[in-house]
Every structure is written in C-alpha cells, then in structure tokens.
Amino acid sequence: MRRIKHFILNGVVIVSTILLVTDIQFAMDEDSEEKESKTELAPASNPLQPATFPLEPLANRWRLLDAYGVEVPRYSIIDPYNQNPLKGDFPIMGRNTFMVLTGIYNPAGVFNSQDNIDAAFNNKFVTEIEFFHGTTVFRPKTWSIKAAGEGFFNRGNVDNEDFGLKQLFGEIKLFETDPFFDFGSIRGGIQFFKSDFNGFVFQDFNLGAQFFGELNENRYRYALAYFSQREKDNGFVTFDELNQDVVVANWVAEDIISPGFINEFSIHYNRDRQLGDFDLDVLYLGFASDGHWGRIEFNPAFYLAIGSEDFSSVLDTGEILESSSDIRAFFGGVEVAYPEDYFNFRGAVFFASGDSDPNDDTNNGFDSILDNINLFGGNTSFLIGGGAFGTRNNSFIPSFRPLGTRSNFVNPGMLFGNLGLDMIFTPKLFFESNVNYFQFLTSDVLPTDSKSVGFEVNGAFAYRIDLNENLVFKVGGNIFFPQDGAVQNGVSPFLADKDVILTGNLTLVALF
C-alpha cells in the first residue's frame, strides 16, 4: 500500500509540474502573439517598392508562421496528433529544450484449448517521460534524461499485479566530428539495450553504461556497452547485484557489398558468477545483416560461443573438488523475403548446436546471454512465444533454464524452419501468416531418442484504426501439431498427449 501511495503521489507531482510549465509557456506564446498582431505591414508608397515585414523578435521560431497570419493548428495537451508541447513539438524551456510524454495501454486476452489452462486477461500500462535539448531534426540530442515505469494486472491460471521502474538514464553528447553531425554520446543508468538486429544474443532492461555514435556521414554506427546485471522482481530491476557482467561491442556498416545491405559485427562477453562455486566465462563472436540485394531481402546471422565453465568447492574435510569444461557452440541461420506488390513471401532456417555427450569436458549446446526475439509469429506462435519445450518466452533456443538464470550449454540444440506470407489488404489492414517446424538437434541429453517436437500454423490480423500506430487492434491464432519429441521427452508441463493445441489472442495497443 505504501508503494501505491508513493507511486500516486509522484504521478500527481509530475502531472502538476507538466501542466504548470505548459500554462506558463502558453501564456508566453499568447503574449507574443498579441504583440505580433499589433505590428502591421508597412503600406507600400510605390507599387514597385517591396512591402516590409515585422521586425519585432519572436518568442521562438516554432511559432514563426503565426506572425505572418498563416493559420496553424492550435494544440491541446490531450491531442497527440496535432502540435502538442507534451509530444516534443514546442520547447518547454528556452528555444531547444523539449519534453516527450508517452503512454501505452496494452490489454490482451489469451485463449488455449488445453483443459488445464484457463483463459487469461492481461493488462499492461507503460508511462515514459523524456526531457532533451537540441534541434534533433538534423542533429543528435545534446543531452537527455528519461524515466519509464510499467505496471500490469493479469488474471488467469496465475493472478498477478505489480508496477515498477523500467528505465531511468541520462545521456549527453560528447562531440561532433564533421558538418554531417557524426557524433559520440554516452548514456548511463537503467536502460534498454538490444545487441543485434533481432535480439538473438542479448536484449534486456538493466543497469549499465554505453558509448555510442555514428561516423562517415552516418554510414557507420558503433556502440560499446557494459551492464552490471541486477536481480529482477516481476521483470523490474531491484538494484540487488546478480554477480553477472556483460560487455558488448558492435559495429554497424551500411551499404557494404550492395546498396541497402546493412551489416553488423559484434563481440559479447558474459562473466557470470551467480552460482558461487561455478565460474562461467563466454565470448560470443557474431555477424548479422538486415538489408536487401536488389529486390530480395537477405538477413543471415551467425554466432560462435567459446569459453569455459569451472567448478571449485571445498568440502568439510578440507578436500577441494575441481572440474572444468570448455564451451564450443554455434548458432546460425538466414531469413529470405521477396516482396511483390501487396504480398511478402518469406522463408527461414535457423539452427543451434547441441551437446552430444553431457559427461565429457566439452559443452556444445548453444545458449544466449538473454535472447528475446519477435519473429515467425512472435506472441501468436506456440513455439516462439509459449515458453515450452525447454525454451523461454520469445525464444527458440532450448536451453532448459528458467528466465533470469545463468546460461546452460548442455542442451540438445534445435533446428527451426519457417515459411511465411504477409499481405497488405488496405492501408489499415495487414495480415501475417507462418508455418513453423521445430526439432531438437541431438537427443543425448533428452530422456528419449525422439527429436521432432512438431509444427504449427499461425496467423494474425492487425488493424490500424486511424492509419497510424496510435491505436492498433490485433487478433491472431495458432494450431500446433505435437510430435513424439514433444510428448515423450516431457519437456512441456502442459503437454500430455499428441492432441492438436489451439491458441488465440486479442490485443489492443493504445499509444499516446
């Protein structure tokens, strides 16, 4: 109850401050407009002489058209479509200090045909506020401060509700290197970070710092990030040290090999000491792309994981037990798409190496630091979004570890295939469909030799009510056909037979 009162009090203070600043700015603007209205154009004494324009200085250039009688939309603080000081359209202080307030409401209904799973109704609320300085239309921000909170209210098999801090960071620009506004900036605090295009290796909200920027007329982007991972409670950072450090360096280059082909080279280092007697050190070397060759979209990704896992413990007798295992694992795949008019035809194959001998001193099952993907159906998919078959939510790597625990490189690996079709019916209505297949790559760490998990068909409609992303309604469904590898290995707590599983969801995204 104290947390709720504290949260409400802070919200009232923030909103009151925003309204006060907005009223002051609005009063200044009205006063400026009144002065400007008294300034009339000088009458032309000679038809050949040009008319003179008012020379009285304006309050700020964001209302430049008002002085010349050009009608501009008036604003309201509850209207996100027209100019609004809460959306960064007018400065709230001086000429180049802005504020952006964002609110998101995301209710979702989830249904499942299995007898032991009840329908769930989930609600998520997100509020973000950012203050920044700079003319960001053509140059990077000079400085920025951002805070974001999130709350949820879920009802289903498990009832849960909570709210907490999601982001809190500051950012400052260190330098600009040329007239094209290539730059270098630093950001520190609780922040979102995604280390590659699709979140295959590391994506998280956590405490860290990063140095990032652009070079060569914005053609190259770079980032060097360090995260001191903190424990989480219901997904919110608690500031309790997790004893895990993550370092990421990546380099993104545009128009390499072919115009429109964007490449990323990355290095990840994961130092994990969550378990006192086990030391995990893993280095990831990776390459990924997000681009096209001519009409064909071609997006490969490859990662090599090398490192060691050491164990050392002192028994009560004083005897020291020690063991060490090398880590040699890889992950890779490619997604290809061919857009044609209102259709987009897609296909993809991905694999993660598996461990063929859990008793030797080499661990070959690939695992990420903390992956989070939204591909091939995302939350609509039972294979990707369901967190079954040894994977976590929004993952297809069967590492058999709970969310938030250390990486596990003794796992069966996987082979994943996808065929997809996207369609644009109208500017408001979209459709995405996928056929996915999933199997374990090896069975040596499984109870049986069965590797085939099954395949699924999923689809989802998205309807943009006002031709933008401020109000989007989604409805989707999935049909999963389990195979022997899913049932006999008992890798899903809810799967007891090979009956077809139907799932569906209704989602609304309301963005202010």
CA-CA distance, 259 to 253, in Å (whole number)? 11
Nearest to 171 by CA among 136, 126, 138: 136
Q: Which amino acid is at 133?
A: H
Q: Is the pLDDT of residue 496 over 70?
A: no
Average pLDDT of the residues of the chain: 84
Domains and CATH numbers, the chain: 1-42+50-90 (no CATH), 96-290+297-511 (2.40.160.100)
Are the C-beta atoms of residues 299 and 211 closer than 8 Å to each other? no
Would you state the structure tokens that stand for residue 296, as one six-digit string? Answer: 């064909």
Question: Which residues make beta-bridge pairs with 252?
Answer: 221, 264
Are the C-beta atoms of residues 136 and 149 closer than 8 Å to each other? no
- Position of tokens 């115009």? 259
96-133 pLDDT, tens digit each:
899 999 999 999 999 888 777 888 999 999 999 999 99
Nearest to 433 by CA among 471, 391, 478, 465: 478
Nearest to 439 by CA among 396, 474, 401: 396
133-179 pLDDT, tens digit each:
988 777 899 999 999 999 999 998 888 899 999 999 999 999 998 88
Residue 292 pLDDT grade (very low, low, confident, very high; cuts 50, 70, 90): confident
Containing H/E element for 349?
A: strand 343-352
Residue 389: the pLDDT is: 80
Name the DSSP class of 494.
T
Cα-only R_g, the chain: 27
Query: Dihedrals φ, ψ of 194, to 5°?
Result: -130, 115
Q: Is the pLDDT of residue 40 over 70?
A: no
Q: Which long-range contacts (CB under 8 A, 24 or more apart) does 75-81 make?
A: 77/18, 77/19, 77/22, 80/470, 80/511, 80/512, 81/470
Region of 10 please: left (phi>0), alpha (psi -120 to 50) or beta: alpha
CA-CA distance, 175 to 182, in Å (whole number)? 8
Determine whether 470 is exposed, middle or buried from the number of CB atoms within 10 Å of its CB (0-12, 13-18, 19+). Answer: middle
Region 413-436 average pLDDT? 96
Q: Which amino acid is at 504?
A: G
Residue 78 pLDDT grade (very low, low, confident, very high; cuts 50, 70, 90): confident
Angle, CA 214 vertex, CA 211 and CA 215 arms, to 5°: 125
Question: Which residues make beta-bridge pairs with 123?
Answer: 107, 153
- Considering 77-91, 179-193, 309-323, the range whose residues carry the highest mean pLDDT is 179-193
Residue 55: the pLDDT is: 55
- Mapped onto helix, strand or coil, the DSSP state of residue 428 is coil
CA–chain centroid gap for 477, Å, is: 23
Q: State percent of the chain over pLDDT 70.
A: 81
Nearest to 369 by CA among 430, 327, 427: 327
- Mapped onto helix, strand or coil, the DSSP state of residue 380 is helix
CA distances from 272 to 129, 199, 277, 307 (A): 33, 20, 11, 12
Q: Could you write out the three-class secondary structure of 140-201? A: CCCEEEEEEEEEEEEECCCCEEEEEEEEEEEEEEEEECCCCCCEEEEEEEEEEEECCCCCCC
243-274 pLDDT, tens digit each:
999 999 999 999 887 888 899 999 999 999 98
DSSP string over 448-466: SS--EEEEEEEEEEEEETT
Residue 39 pLDDT grade (very low, low, confident, very high; cuts 50, 70, 90): very low
Higher pLDDT, residue 25 or 251: 251
Residue 4 pLDDT grade (very low, low, confident, very high; cuts 50, 70, 90): very low
Question: Which residues make beta-bridge pairs with 326?
Answer: 308, 362
Torsion of CA 393, 399, 402, 408, to 10 degrees: -140
313-362 pLDDT, tens digit each:
666 666 666 788 999 999 999 999 999 999 999 999 999 999 999 889 99
Residue 26 pLDDT grade (very low, low, confident, very high; cuts 50, 70, 90): very low
CA distances from 408 to 196, 199, 353 (A): 21, 18, 12
Higher pLDDT, residue 375 or 7: 375
CA-CA distance, 437 to 455, in Å (whole number)? 4
Determine whether 183 is exposed, middle or buried from the number of CB atoms within 10 Å of its CB (0-12, 13-18, 19+). Answer: buried
Are the C-beta atoms of residues 231 and 240 closer than 8 Å to each other? yes
Region of 169 please: left (phi>0), alpha (psi -120 to 50) or beta: beta
Range scoring the smallest mean pLDDT among 46-55, 198-207, 466-475 = 46-55
CA-CA distance, 439 to 452, in Å (whole number)? 4
